[in-house]
Structure 1
């Protein structure tokens, strides 16, 4: 099966958080694989426009729009506009998340905690609530949530990422369990340490060179991942090749979580 037969010619893949290091790669690979792409951004309009143009250069339709994910009305307006432009949504990829710093639990402030939960957990719920009726109407569609391998193997100082993403994982599995009868699938991809986006910043600012080498030694493949590795897993799970896969989490971590 070629990439260009993996998705419907009509409708769109909605990429929530499309301007991040992973979101950009996912958006482009979705287009390369035959899907139209709508992507959201929070602040970086210039990058959103650039990625949207890249999608269109691949012969696919695209749109981009600003969205405040913790605002119910902003999310609903975005989804309404996507439906108006494309008619239907066949895939929702959630690859959004707040910018966070590494820190022990006793260092996390109440304000930081509320911001992360509201942006990540409540934000993802807002996305599900706004998009689910449209996927139900089509009696088909898929959700892919990009979470973190830390939901399975917790590294110290990562609570602001691991805890909300664990909730996102369970919300995704809830959709899988409850909405499968409507032809809807829902899966997660759990990246390990990735040299892209926030992962690059964490590696450079959060760890010394010797610690980075120790981290690599804990990975079976002895190397950090790339954005493309995550995009390949996301596109596979969203595509017709994974039509009987739902409720699963695939860890793309070089073998870190199991050792």
Structure 2
């Protein structure tokens, strides 16, 4: 067991729910952060098996600083200590080319994802400093290393999240605080699963599959394994790093 509870921001999404299931056996509890659906958060908790009783559904709206502050207060009162914060939140992002992206689309993803993450960091740091330890793991994107056309709305704010994560690692390490990132490739979970069903043709996805060294798309569980490692004490001397989990897509 790692000390404290895991707070998963965006815990009801395809990747977020897989992360909750992976973390549940190793932490004192899991706070399943959700924005709009308590029922979805409770459904995720129901999948945690014997650790379901140690989980809590916690409302956490990334666009609302007060909601985030209340969420961390709720988690600390429930568990006594927050050991890791996983940032897997975001918006449902289409795949337009840059020339077709409207300014309001940029504002939405920057507000919810990049500024939302900055709010999470600001809320979590006092708890981590008080405990003398803690870590962030953010789910970002392989697009910042191997850009697929149409992915700018997703990759641009996540590049900012990576930069902020490295800043946190450098400045807060003296307080025992770590920050790392996981960059998924093409994953058959969450928004990725929707894209595989609705975006492009099966022939295009088959061509993409063949570009991957391991010749297959990834799973939510495989991303969750990487997150679980970086969040744990097994990675206690790793900070400021991005772990690319893409089966060799970016090679």
> Please, what TM-score do these two structures have when normalized by structure 2?
0.97
Quickly say closer, same or farther: Cα 1:149–1:35, change in 2 above 3 A: farther
Alignment-derived partner of residue 192 in structure 1: 185
Which ranges in structure 2 are unaligned for 5 or more consecutive residues?
none
Partner of 1:114: 107
2:48, 2:31 → 1: CA distance? 10
Q: Which residue in the other structure is 2:97 paired with? A: 104
Distance 2:192 2:87 in 1: 17
**1:61 lines up with 2:57 in the alignment:** no
Note if contact 2:92-2:191 (Cα within 8 Å) is conserved in structure 1.
Answer: yes
Query: Which residue matches 1:92?
Result: 85
Partner SS state of residue 96, structure 1 = coil
Aligned counterpart, 2:228: 235
1:244-259 alignment, distance < 5 Å: 244-258=237-251
Residue 59 of structure 1 and its aligned partner are, at CA, apart by 6.3
| Structure 2 CA distance for partners of 1:80 and 1:58, relative to 1, 3 Å | closer
1:158 to 147, 151, 155: 151
* Alignment partner of 1:174 out of 167, 171, 175: 167
Contact 2:189 2:219 in 1 (8 A): yes
- Residue 32 of structure 1 deviates from its aligned partner by 2.3
Partners in 1 of 2:179 and 2:122 — Cα distance? 14
Matched residue, 1:205: 198
Q: What per-residue deviation string (whole Å, max 9, x for no partner) do you get for residues 32-85 of structure 1?
A: 234410011122321201222333622661111222101111111111111111
| 2:122 is the alignment partner of 1:138 | no
Mark the CA change 1:219 to 1:252 in structure 2 (over 3 Å): closer, same or farther: same
Hey, what's the Cα distance between the residues in 2 that align with 1:119 and 1:241? 31
> 1:23 — aligned with what?
16
1:165-223 CA-partner distances (Å, limit 9, x unpaired): 00011111111010001011110000000000100111221120110011011110010
Task: State the Cα RMSD in Å.
Answer: 1.2
- Where in structure 1 do 4 or more consecutive aligned residues deviate above 4 Å? none
Deviation at 1:151, TM superposition (A): 1.2
Q: What secondary structure, in the 3-state scheme, does the structure 2 residue paired with 1:58 have?
A: helix
Residue pair 2:58, 2:75 contacting (<8 A) in 1 also? no
Are residues 59 and 155 of structure 1, via their aligned partners in 2, closer, same or farther at CA, if it must alter by over 3 Å? closer
Which of 158, 179, 183 is the equivalent residue of 2:176?
183
TM-score by length of 1: 0.94
Flag structure 1 segments of 5+ consecutive residues without an equivalent.
none
